[in-house]
Structure 1
Amino acid sequence: MIEEHVEEENLSARLNWLRAGVLGANDGVVSVAALLVGVAASDPAAGVLATAGIAGIAAGALSMGIGEYVSVSSQSDSERAQLKREQSWQETRPDWELEQLVRLNMETGMSEETARRAATEQHDHDPVAIHAKMHLGIDPNEIVNPWAAGIASFIAFTSGGLFPLATMLLAPETARIPATFAVVIVALAVTGFVSARLGQSKRRIGVLRNVVGGALAMAITYGIGTLVGTAV
């Protein structure tokens, strides 16, 4: 039972990372495709598209990576500060902390007698960890590494952005925009399906929402590119 519980926790952590990677790739697909379609509507030259695509991928990936690093760093710093404060409280007021844990156990449906016995055993095992989980909602063993989060977001966005860029550059000039639309629709359908499956939600709705949102973004930027190209 213990091994199964640990395996479930590890699987949950891996699924969270995988879901974040899928969403990052999805952002890369939509952002870069929308940018390229807009540029292609104004200037279909391969050199211009390559420059815009590479710049878009670099800017988006760096923005996502740095943003994720800063966000997770703030969260990690806050969690570590709370754990440090909890450690201090355990040293200066252990009786008060024990009573707090008794009340927390009682809120889960335990009788006072059972809650006190459980709290005593929990305190004897690891008082900081149990208070962090039950009072602060923090698992000391699952504090996210900001570097890992930032690098994962950077790689995910870059991977997603390469699909529309490669399609736009490899397809014949007359077919660049429709080919990119087609590739992106397929990619969005896949990421929508995977995201829905990982989140255990309705897959059809997830795919439809993803495809419609991405298609709308490309249609809008295509319209803007066409207007700008005509005006200029």
Structure 2
Amino acid sequence: MSDVWIYHCSDVEEGARTAGALFRRGAADRLDLLRHPRWVVTPTLAQGRWLRHLWLQEKGCLLNVRFMTPVVLRGELAARLGLEAEPIGQLEEELLFRGLVRPEEAESEFREALLRNPGMVLRVCGALRAAGWPADEVFGGQSFPGRLAREFETLRGRETLPSRQETDRELFRHAGGEGGSPAPGQEFELLLYGFRASHWPDWFLLAAGALLAARAHVFLARPRVVAEEEG
């Protein structure tokens, strides 16, 4: 298991500057930097670009630093673990889900909402799946949404179409989580920045990265800061 350091930031920019200082600390040994890549993972590409810009302004060393989002991290970890990491895409999910709606079914507010925005319903199902709750049971097994959730999960299983949550849990187990055999440590340093409680469905993926890295730095905003930004 890697060394994991957690930092609580009073504000966003303070955290970003502290993160940049961590990377400048090892800039003297450039040969070591070439040997050991450093990954910076942010929820969005825009946040990664902002960090890069800020660190370059402060003359930070970005040698062998790679900025990525969770989607890219998933592929990188899978490659290092020798696993497949191609969960079903959002568009494919929406098309499959829409196809389960029967023309003869009675009109309902849920049916109309589903046809207008199936992605919203799928995100709810994904969040429930990540928490270990079967969506069909939460919705009610015999109800219209319960039937859709149950048939959708059956279809995914039959066609071997893993969800993002299932893929991430598999990565987590192979990294040594949930009682899995710890994988050999990887020679990369990981920095997680900008993730909040709203990103908790990515927890297994981020935790897998932290377990595999030689060292992991996790930057978290204090709850008051998050409330002020979202208020």
Name the TM tier (shorter chain). under 0.3
Give the structure-1-normalised TM-score. Answer: 0.24
Bigger Rg, structure 1 or 2 = 1
Q: Relative contact order (alpha carbons < 8 A, sep ≥ 6): 1 or 2 greater?
A: 1
Q: Which structure shows the higher strand fraction?
A: 2
Give the structure-2-normalised TM-score. Answer: 0.24
